[in-house]
Amino acid sequence: MPYITQTAIGLRDELRVFGNDYDTPDGSCIRDYLHVSDLAKAHVVAVKRLIDNKNKKNYEVFNLGTGIGYSVLDVINSFERSTGVKLNYKIMERRPGDVEEVWADTEFANKELGWKAKRDLDEMTLTAWNWEKHLAGK
């Protein structure tokens, strides 16, 4: 996300999209994007679980995310739609080792923590843009 917002505000000349030939709907990689505020709320719930001695084991692992995979081009389109800012991006060759698709299985976190991500992709891209503008004093 910072590469997107930094490109939009002019800190980067262009956004590079690595690969458009993956076996995905639009050919770009798919990832799970999580808003930092949703992540923070999950941490608060998990810490409260520990403080209240409600953890079931000494060591618990929770996958945090939305459970939804978005392609790189989905994120670019969301950013342009939610902000009205057109991004200068270029499709590049794939990077060695990039995974085609990956997203979180949030079932355990949803059940055990009673937590679920609230923000959708458009809200994530818009708030990221607003934060970048804030950093730039705009």
Q: Chain-wide mean pLDDT for the chain?
A: 97
Locate the DSSP E strands across 5-114. 15-18, 30-31, 70-71, 89-92
pLDDT tens by residue, 68-93: 999 999 999 999 999 999 999 999 99
Which domain range does residue 49 map to?
2-130
- Residues 104/16, Cβ–Cβ less than 8 Å: no
Domain with residue 71: its CATH number is 3.90.25.10
pLDDT tens by residue, 7-37: 999 999 999 999 999 999 999 999 999 999 9
Number of domains in the chain: 1
pTM for this one?
Answer: 0.91
Q: Which amino acid is at 85?
A: V
d(CA 68, CA 124): 13
CA distances (Å), origin 97, targets 19, 23, 29, 100, 105: 12, 15, 12, 9, 22
Average pLDDT over residues 90-100: 96
Using left for φ > 0, alpha for ψ between -120 and 50, and beta otherwise, residue 20 falls in: alpha
Report if residue 26 sits inside a domain. yes
By percentage, how much of the chain surpasses pLDDT 70? 100
Using left for φ > 0, alpha for ψ between -120 and 50, and beta otherwise, residue 10 falls in: left
Report if residue 109 sits inside a domain. yes
pLDDT at position 118 is: 97
pLDDT tens by residue, 115-130: 999 999 999 999 999 9
pLDDT at position 103 is: 96
Report if residue 85 sits inside a domain. yes
